Copies of this chain bind each other. A is one copy, B any other.
Amino acid sequence: MRFIEKLLDITKKNNSLLCVGLDTDTEKIPEFLLKENDPIFSFNKSIIDATSDLVCAYKPNLAFYEAQGLKGWESLKKTCEYIPKHIPIILDAKRGDIGNTSRMYAKAIFDDLKGDAVTVSPYLGEDSISPFLAYEDKCAFILCLTSNKGAEDFQLQKIDNRPLYELVAEKILQWNEKGNCGLVVGATYPEQLKKIREIVGKLPILIPGIGAQKGDVEKTIKYGTDDQGNLAAINSSRGIIYASSEKDFADAARAKAKELRDTINSFRKK
């Protein structure tokens, strides 16, 4: 099944545009879990069990696993295996290199970890992205406009009277020959998100930045979804998974996930 169909199916089934980010950090998970054999996986397992009927995707953030070395990579792999097959796994990796190297990253993400999608950086241009796009049923979410202050350094700079991120959005639309490109656009720039949605039409957009980073939910949903109120994955990580640091962490995460899913739905086009 193609990624975009898988995303639309789960969006409908769970009535949700909520993507839960698994930025799992041993310094932030409940202390009692640290006694377990694999605390990171135990934590993720509980979060997944508590939220799998509320989400449209899970987004493990590779940095947090790599920071734990070998053990972390193992926790990541177990997490990917554990996520129910009908829920898309977006591996947040921000990869991108020359062709023969990107091919290896694609192999790691899609063949070894069995992700459904990956985030990639556009700086090296088309031939750095195409090895990911060779996997027709997968999706590459290409960074367009990020939620951080540093986006001003280059992404907002103007090329031929339009900002670099608009040129990136136009290129992504051209690269979408197999229908497996997506974009990453931060919720902290709602007006720009609107413009980007106009440029890319029905491509899926992964939108981080509404939780800890304070993006505006209403505008994000209004401007970020397509004309049917779909094809956006609104990510929240810390605000959900660390809702409580006590024994009730999974229930607390479920409550936060439900609340945010419903808030998002209240602003969706019908």
Contact = CB atoms under 8 A, between A and B. Distances in A.
Contacts of A123: 121-123, 143, 146, 154-155
B105 A124 contact: no
Contact of A124 (B66, B107, B150, B158): B150
A168 B164 CA distance: 13
Scoring A122, A123, A168 by chain B CB atoms within 10 A of each residue's CB, the highest score goes to A123
A98 interface: yes
A171 interface: yes
Scoring A72, A100, A164 by chain B CB atoms within 10 A of each residue's CB, the highest score goes to A100
B108 A63 contact: yes
Given A121-B94, A121-B96, A124-B143, A66 B151 contact: no
Contact of A70 (B70, B98, B213): B70
B155 A158 contact: no
A11 interface: no
Interface stretch (A50-58, A125-133, A217-225, A261-269): A125-133
Interface residues of A, number: 60
Copies of this chain present: 2
A128 B149 CA distance: 9
A153 interface: yes
Contact of A168 (B23, B102, B105, B154): B154
B124 A152 contact: no
Nearest to A68: B112
B154 A127 contact: no
Contacts of A213: 98
A153 to B, nearest CB: 3
A151 B125 contact: yes
A61 interface: yes
Interface of A: 23, 25, 61, 63-64, 66-70, 72-74, 77, 92, 94-102, 104-105, 107-108, 111-113, 121-129, 143, 146-155, 157-160, 164, 167-168, 171, 213
Given A63-B104, A94-B95, 6 more contacts: A23-B100, A70-B74, A73-B73, A122-B123, A123-B143, A123-B146
In the A-B complex, the 3 residue pairs with the closest CB atoms:
A125-B150, A125-B153, A63-B104
8 contacts: A61-B104, A64-B101, A64-B104, A69-B112, A70-B73, A73-B73, A125-B153, A157-B167
